[in-house]
Structure 1
């Protein structure tokens, strides 16, 4: 450690960022686009270690082999955590290789879920168990009642989503609909959440709940938002599915999870396959429901967004519940419609 300097990287300096990216390539890591803070350890001008964060997710750790075991990881992690504290963030995740588990558990991180390909750890003023205890109290969830669950993004809320929730309601004593809270969709979270709550209020046994940071979030499943089909996808799907089974299902007495059949998206298909394999470990059944069809095509949020992009708003009315259609015709809805028309994003 003697003679090393710990420096913050200027993220606006493309050359500095490029050097970090080149260092990471030697460790089969990529410098990810959502990073908002990066530190490097330097021996003179040579980078010998680095770590970064994206909000409260610590990532992109690499230490030169000649310096492993010298305490450099602890120094970098401590500096990152100090930065989080400066920003008022007191809970964080680390997504890393299983071989790094001992390093991070020695720094007071707890294993949240481990797959063969990767491991997710957390540390801070709360953990997943205290989070779920608070959720049970806040949402008045009866843990003695057997439940079905759905996890939905609803970008936007369609007749397909409504159909799935109604199917769950018909066949289950109680249904929990977890709304993906990560705000990376064209329709903001609060809009999506309110549309679904309003759209299923006729179903007395359904609760619509904020998904929080443990369900399809940037920590548990970044590929969901990137729509990338790479070698990390398998790890992300296993970890997100495993967390749901191990913690949510066990604690909330969830016995079934329902998903829609996925004819279009390979990432969602991979996720459904991971769910099937992981949930069975916790005695939870995955039920795949055939999608609702309109004009010989499955109703999907992506279909609705494509129609908006094409300017075919008249075709949307039959694909979405009244609550969504009414919203699309409000000033706020029209603003989102214009953003979609101008956007290249699939979300």
Structure 2
């Protein structure tokens, strides 16, 4: 590869960032906002290939036609893997188009799940089956018991969440609650997990479990190679539902996934519809439960956050269990309340 250099891009430099953005545009791609490390290959000063990462997710790949076959992808991937090793991370993922799968499987990536418009692969010291084996051991999950499951963010834990969990507890022999671990919420994972665990300890057939890396949040799903929002949402939902059915369902003996009815949010509605289509392929039913109401409207975590943001914390009190109310009045809780008041984020 005579005359080719691999360079790290300074993502804080708007000119360098724009140069990568413009190169990706030529391929109908974009540079995702959350990338934290980007490298490029140049020839005669011009970008001819690039790739990036956001934490341990590889993304934003493009290689010019005149460099194809030069082993450029392998060079770029090796650079990213070396960077992750420096950061003490030994496991990585990539979402890409199905027609690119051979490139990455040839570099020892393993396919986890393939949807119509996207494919999800992993690389590293362990895989999804080992991760689930570890989960079974750590949380003492009885594989002989038929289970129901809920996947929740709980940002924060509300009486609506508690109601859904109670309904699941009454309907199923055992219930697993997976709390989304991705920290893209105003209430950090540690606090969300702790509130749900404390707030459901009276329900003896309920186990609260960290969701781990394989319960993908929509915030994690990349946008760089799927521009249309509806297609992107469908691809994300297919992969997330497929992974849950194929791996979590079969390995943990989950026969039913329960979700709250979604009267307001089209995105969640579309997601629930995809669950309904995909889960039965893996022997799992979907049950949609009508949400709990307060004063004529459905309780939601976003309403609670809005009340907190507007300084109406007493109004929020009617929608949250005692465990959440007590937490909001601790020092840590007050810090989060102040953060919410200053935030423009919907999360």
In 2, the alpha carbon distance for the partners of 1:135 and 1:38 equals 33
Aligned residue pairs, count: 343
Which residue is equivalent to 1:317? 317
- Alpha-carbon separation, structure 2, partners of 1:22 and 1:254: 46
User: CA offset at residue 71 of structure 1?
Assistant: 1.0
Match of 2:209 in 1: 209
Gaps of 5+ in 2: none
Once residues 13 and 209 of structure 2 are traced to their aligned partners in structure 1, the CA distance between those partners, rounded to angstroms, is: 41
Does residue 77 of structure 2 align to residue 107 of structure 1?
no
Partner of 1:86: 86
State how far apart, in whole Å, the 2-side matches of 1:41 and 1:206 are: 51
**Counterpart contact for 1:151–1:177, Cα < 8 Å:** yes
- Contact conserved, 2:260 with 2:291, CA < 8 A, in 1? yes
Q: How far apart are the structure 1 equivalents of 2:326 and 2:202?
A: 17
* Conserved 8 A contact 1:221-1:237: no
1:121–1:107 distance in 2 versus 1, CA, 3 Å:
same
Query: Alignment partner of 1:316: what SS?
Result: helix
Tell me the distance in 2 between the aligned counterparts of 1:82 and 1:339: 35
Distance in 2 between residues matched to 1:266 and 1:222, nearest whole Å = 20
Q: C-alpha separation between the residues in 2 aligned to 1:51 and 1:212?
A: 25
Q: What does residue 278 of structure 1 align with?
A: 278
Cα distance in 2 for partners of 1:117, 1:238 equals: 9
Say if 1:56 and 1:91, in contact at 8 Å, map to a contact too: yes
1:36 equivalent in structure 2: 36
| Aligned pairs (5 A) from 1:288-307 | 288-307=288-307
CA distance in 1, matches of 2:310, 2:135: 41
Distance 1:309 1:75 in 2: 47
Question: Structure 1 residues 212-221 or 5-14, which shifts more?
Answer: 212-221
Q: How far has the Cα of 1:330 moved from its partner?
A: 1.3
Distance 2:72 2:229 in 1: 33
RCO comparison, higher one (Cα < 8 Å, 6+): 2
1:172 alignment counterpart: 172
Is the Cα–Cα contact under 8 Å of residues 110 and 123 in structure 1 kept in the other structure? yes
Structure 2 CA distance for aligned equivalents of residues 309 and 13 of structure 1: 33
Q: Structure 1 residues 219, 297: closer, same or farther in 2, change over 3 A? A: closer
Is the 8 Å Cα contact of residues 220 and 236 (structure 1) preserved in structure 2? no
Q: Which residue of 2 aligns with 1:232?
A: 232
Deviation at 1:220, TM superposition (A): 6.0
Q: Distance in 2 between matches of 1:322 and 1:299?
A: 15
Q: 1:47 to 1:230 in 2, by over 3 A?
A: farther
TM-score normalized by the length of structure 1: 0.96
- The TM-score normalised by the length of structure 2 is 0.96
Counterparts of 2:26 and 2:268, CA distance in 1: 31
Query: How much has 1:230 moved relative to structure 2?
Result: 4.8
Q: What's the Cα RMSD here?
A: 1.4
